[in-house]
Structure 1
C-alpha cells in the first residue's frame, strides 16, 4: 500500500469510528503519516446544537468533558480498527476538539516508522 492509500484507508476507518461510535461523522477528514505518527484532521465536526452549547465557557467545558469521556471509552475500538489494516502496536492515542473552529485532531503514535513501511511496499 502506498503512503497515500494508507492515509486514505485510515481516514475511512476514523470516519467509520466517528459515525458508528461517536454518532456523527465530519464534513471532511484527512490523514497525514509522519514517521511513526498518524495525524487525523476532521473538519465540520460540530453539530448545530453543539455549536450553540459551546457559545459560553461553561458549555465548552461540558462539551469537552463529554467528548473526552466518549472518546476514551471508544479508544480500544478505534485502535482495533486501525490494527486490522496496519500491523503495528499502538503506543498512544490523543484527541482534542476546537470548539472555535469545529475541528478535531487525533494523533496516534505507533511502534514503526510508517513512512518506511510504505516505501518498502
Structure 2
C-alpha cells in the first residue's frame, strides 16, 4: 500500500467512525501522514442544530464539551478501526473543533514513521 492509499483508507475509516459513532459524517475529509503523525481534517461535520447552538458563546462552550466527550468515549473504537489498517500502535489521539469554520482536526501519533514505511522507494 502506498502513502496515498493509506491516507485514503484512513479517511474512509474516519468517515465510518463519524457516521456510526457520532451519528453524522463530514462533507469533506482529508488525511495527511507526516512522519509518525496522522492529521485528519474534517469539513462540514456540524449539524444544522449545532450550527444554531454555536451562535452564542454558551452554545459554543456546550457544543465543544459534548463533542469532546463523545469523541473521548469513542476513542478506543476509533483506535481499533485504525489498528486494522496501519502497521503501528497508536500512542495518542488529539481532537479539536472550530465552530466558526465547521472544521474538526484530529492528530494521531503512532510508534513509527509511517511516511517512511509507506513511501514508494
Return the TM-score normalized by structure 2: 0.97
Shift of 1:86: 1.1
Q: Which residue of 2 aligns with 1:67?
A: 67
Unaligned runs of 5+ in 1: none
Q: Which residue of 2 aligns with 1:44?
A: 44
Matched, 1:25 2:29: no
Unaligned runs of 5+ in 2: none
CA–CA distance in 1 between the matches of 2:87 and 2:31?
A: 18
Structure 2 contact 35–114 (Cα < 8 Å) conserved: yes
Deviations 1:58-117 (A, max 9, x none): 000000010000000000000000000012110100001100000000000000000111
Shift of 1:26: 0.1
Question: Superposition RMSD on alpha carbons, in Å?
Answer: 1.0
Q: Which residue of 2 aligns with 1:107?
A: 107
CA–CA distance in 2 between the matches of 1:6 and 1:104?
A: 20
Return the TM-score normalized by structure 1: 0.97
Equivalent pairs, count: 121
Matched, 1:81 2:57: no
Shift of 1:119: 2.5
CA–CA distance in 1 between the matches of 2:119 and 2:87?
A: 15
CA–CA distance in 1 between the matches of 2:120 and 2:91?
A: 22
- Could you list the runs of 4 or more consecutive aligned residues of structure 1 that deviate by over 4 angstroms after TM superposition? none
Shift of 1:47: 1.0
